[in-house]
Amino acid sequence: MKPYLAAAVQMTSIPDLKHNLAQAEELIARAARQGAKLVGLPENFSFLGDEEAKITQAEAIAEASEKFLRLSAQKFQVTLLGGGFPVPVGNGKVYNTALLIDPQGRECARYEKMHLFDVNLPDGNTYRESSTVLAGTFTPPVYTSTDLGSLGLSVCYDVRFPELYRHLARLGADVLFVPAAFTAYTGKDHWQVLLQARAIENTAYVIAPAQVGRHNSQRQSHGHALVIDPWGGVLADAGDSPGLALAAIDPVRLEQVRRQMPSLQHRVLV
């Protein structure tokens, strides 16, 4: 692992595939111009809106999303995470799939979101992700790169399940990806503190691309894409508009924190 810059992209995706991919390309290009070698796009980067429309267009969204990720990684010479897009599995359902692509356009890792967001929020909004999404059955992968370190994948609501990240830490993860479309209501209280907790307890960097703003009449996301260091410090925050959170991933800092706070070596329950 070498020092490098990582970018967490922040987008306002809508129910328009072409528009979203153009927005994503612009932000990837901006990150690459600033020197980023690892770039993460948020959950639902290619389509965010009405669930019925998503299912109807799922095959086209999946094909266009994967093609876009492969071509963009090659074009901008970055390792690129597509933080979540629908991949049809039949019976009117999809996997919410995160895909990591290397600068040659090759698939490094694929993860199908395990924890589905089925909640009734106090603000009156109800979310039933399981109505259209099938939960993944395989634990998240860790992809190890000589240059980038070991990258662990997760998606959005997963962040509330610390056992998943401890599993990734046991597999050697140095960097934890948490691409999300966190609701505005829960995000204001929970988003940053949950990400900091996952970084601190696993002494790992966290890269959290995010959706922001209004996507349709019912859906609004919190924003604040973050990069967090292994001590829990916020290195970069994209705020409340589309853009980037850009920060250095430093193996010396990682080793220093793990030496000073060797909690991963002190685990009793495994």
Alpha helices in the chain (DSSP H): 17-33, 51-56, 58-76, 162-170, 184-186, 192-202, 251-260
Per residue in 128-163, pLDDT (tens digit) is 899 899 999 888 899 999 999 999 999 999 999 999
188 is catalytic: no
156 is catalytic: yes
Rounded distance, CA 242 to CA 211, Å? 8
Q: What is the residue-averaged pLDDT of the chain?
A: 95
Per residue in 203-219, pLDDT (tens digit) is 999 999 999 999 887 78
Structural domain of 182: 4-266
pLDDT score, position 83: 96
pLDDT score, position 105: 98
Which of the following is catalytic: 54, 66, 108, 156? 156
Burial of 251 (0-12, 13-18, 19+ CB in 10 A): middle
Per residue in 9-56, pLDDT (tens digit) is 999 999 999 999 999 999 999 999 999 999 999 999 999 988 888 999
The model carries a pTM of 0.96
Which of the following is catalytic: 43, 54, 66, 112? 43
Q: For residue 66, give the CATH number of its domain.
A: 3.60.110.10
pLDDT score, position 234: 98
Mean pLDDT of 160-186: 96
113 is catalytic: yes
Domain count, the chain: 1
